[in-house]
Amino acid sequence: MSDGDMEVFFCGLAALLGAVLGSFFNCAAWRTARGQVWWTGRSRCPVCGHALGALELIPVLSFLLQRGRCRHCGAKLPWRYLLTELGFGLLTVLSYRRFGLSLYGLGCYVFFCCLLCLSLVDWEIYIIPDGCLIAAALAWPLTLPALDFDGLRILERILSALVFGGGMLLLARWMDRLLDKESLGGGDIKLFALLGLYLGLARSLLALLLSSLLGLLLALVPRGGDKRIPFAPAISLAAALTLLWGDTVIDWYLGLFAF
Ligand SMILES: [Zn+2]
């Protein structure tokens, strides 16, 4: 195989892996949101509880072939399932293209998996599971090759997490008093601290800006009369985009001021 063919093959493999994991995290998040054990048991229809067979478990294809309905009871399945499988397939390809098969790439990818899972749970029950945040924090040392294992740069990241997380905590408390209701949940603040760890302070600020814009878009998605907005999906998508292309955007922005 030529280099080009190999690249297409690996991208296809990445898309497949992402779609399978997207499907798995949908199921894991559904169980977590209902207080069930997430790692064991057969996948079931969320409406009638019918155990899904092999043909109903193919990511993307099963949803399309069944026209978005359960084969057993005919109930409509949420579009979110299909979008998650397609979206995470795409993100996996982009992550592979950007970071290659490296330790740093693996660390970023585990971070993306944690972000997806916590976003799906937050979308359903407005809670960010601590387990996802802890898993992401534990995977962070995998990204140290990108910092050349330099003690000063590692310290800078840890301080970024404390400063960014602490700053968001103070901002949230101030907003709470101003609006007389909770603006950001504790989970959101811990998630921001995690962004500081993975992105550093400058890129975290970029991600914050982007997440505010995405949060406004998310507020337009109808949620059956529920006025609350789950913010984690917006923060997570902003974090992923910033990890992929934040450096390019910041370089471009700084270039505007270079004479
Ligand atoms: Zn069903």
Q: pLDDT tens digit string along 168-226?
A: 999 999 999 999 988 888 999 999 999 999 999 999 999 999 999 999 998 888 777 77
How far, in Å, from the CA of 41 to the mean position of ligand 1? Answer: 17
DSSP secondary structure string, 33-78? HTT--SSSS--B-TTT-PBP-GGG-STTHHHHHTTTB-TTT-PBPP
**78 shares its domain with 151:** no
CA angle (12, 195, 157) in 5-degree steps: 110
How far, in Å, from the CA of 63 to the mean position of ligand 1? Answer: 13
Q: How far apart are the first and last CA of the chain?
A: 47
Domain termination residue (choose one: 66, 101, 136): 101
Is 107 domain-assigned? Answer: no
How far, in Å, from the CA of 22 to the mean position of ligand 1? Answer: 20
How far, in Å, from the CA of 84 to the mean position of ligand 1? Answer: 20
How far, in Å, from the CA of 54 to the mean position of ligand 1? Answer: 15
Torsion of CA 31, 36, 41, 47, to 10 degrees: -50
Domain that holds residue 64: 1-101
Distance (Å, whole) CA 52 – CA 59: 13
How far, in Å, from the CA of 103 to the mean position of ligand 1? Answer: 41
Per-residue pLDDT of the chain (259 residues; tens, 9 = 90+): 788 899 999 999 999 999 999 999 999 999 999 998 888 778 888 888 888 888 888 999 999 999 999 999 999 998 999 999 999 999 999 999 999 999 999 999 999 999 999 999 999 999 999 999 999 999 999 999 999 999 999 999 999 999 999 999 999 999 999 999 888 889 999 999 999 999 999 999 999 999 999 999 988 887 777 778 899 999 999 999 999 999 898 889 889 887 6
How far, in Å, from the CA of 223 to the mean position of ligand 1? Answer: 22
How far, in Å, from the CA of 204 to the mean position of ligand 1? Answer: 42
**94 shares its domain with 155:** no
Would you say 99 and 14 are in contact if contact means Cβ atoms under 8 Å apart?
no
Burial category of 152 from C-beta neighbours within 10 Å (exposed 0-12, middle 13-18, buried 19 and up)? exposed
How far, in Å, from the CA of 36 to the mean position of ligand 1? Answer: 19
**97 shares its domain with 146:** no
Domain count, the chain: 2
Would you say 68 and 79 are in contact if contact means Cβ atoms under 8 Å apart?
yes
Is 10 domain-assigned? Answer: yes
**DSSP state, 227?**
-
**60 shares its domain with 181:** no
**133 shares its domain with 259:** yes
Sign of CA dihedral 118, 124, 126, 130: negative
How far, in Å, from the CA of 89 to the mean position of ligand 1? Answer: 25
In DSSP terms, which residues pair with 51 in a beta bridge?
A: 44
**130 shares its domain with 77:** no
Is 112 domain-assigned? Answer: no
How far, in Å, from the CA of 83 to the mean position of ligand 1? Answer: 19
